[in-house]
Structure 1
């Protein structure tokens, strides 16, 4: 689609899909550079994780979100999720899951 095709009318008429609205990983990576240069490394890291997630199926992203809610996953389930993300090239997201699993274990938030 061309940029001029992205209109409110196109959205209302159902001519846009979620795939049409998905952020491009390169754009998100560029935003990370801008954030880093602007002195916001935490935001930069968030953009880089988003760039990884942009390549993952929406259903899988929602499952990731659900798995990371407290008391929803076991340590083994989070480790499997971490491995899956790493295998897909989402190393930053995998590291976030590893950190979450460690905190959840320490705070009694695992299932």
Structure 2
């Protein structure tokens, strides 16, 4: 296998590997394509595969924390923005009344989007919130 560090930066050293969530390649992004409507704002969304490839580069460069963040981002890439924002609000101290809504959200993200790392993070947060008494309504 090729050392992932040899691919960085992807746009220069491995442009054939770069794809958007809608499947467009870098070569598809031209001013002409934009003006003709062949490239839309939805085409700018990053694909989970690209985030995982970036995570491989980070891990090969001994940047494990960055790799973990990119892997979590890959899990969230296909989650609707409204659900991400609602989850963010749920995770703010004092927003959830108990661990139950947090655990339900973790289960939903795991079941519907395969977001194992994110679900584990939310479950861990629920444990910490219980231990620290952060479920009481603060606002």
- What TM-score does the superposition give when structure 1 sets the normalisation length? 0.83
Gap runs ≥5 in structure 1: none
What residue is the counterpart of 1:94 in the other structure?
A: 119
Tell me if 1:83 matches 2:107: yes
The structure whose residues are more often helix, as a share, is: 1
* Larger RCO: 1 or 2 (CA < 8 Å, sep 6+): 1
Give 1:103 deviation, angstroms. 1.2
Q: Which structure 1 residue ranges, 4+ long, deviate > 2 Å from structure 2?
A: none
SS at 2:93 equivalent: coil
Give 1:105 deviation, angstroms. 1.3
What residue is the counterpart of 2:12 in the other structure?
A: none
Aligned residues between the structures: 105
1:90 and 1:61 map into 2 onto residues whose CA distance is 12
Cα RMSD for the two superposed structures:
2.2
1:79 and 1:93 map into 2 onto residues whose CA distance is 11
Tell me if 1:24 matches 2:47: yes
What residue is the counterpart of 1:44 in the other structure?
A: 67
What residue is the counterpart of 1:58 in the other structure?
A: 81
Gap runs ≥5 in structure 2: 1-23
Give 1:86 deviation, angstroms. 1.1
2:93 and 2:61 map into 1 onto residues whose CA distance is 33
Give 1:16 deviation, angstroms. 4.3
Give 1:20 deviation, angstroms. 2.6
1:75 and 1:57 map into 2 onto residues whose CA distance is 23
- What TM-score does the superposition give when structure 2 sets the normalisation length? 0.67
**Bigger radius of gyration, 1 or 2?**
2
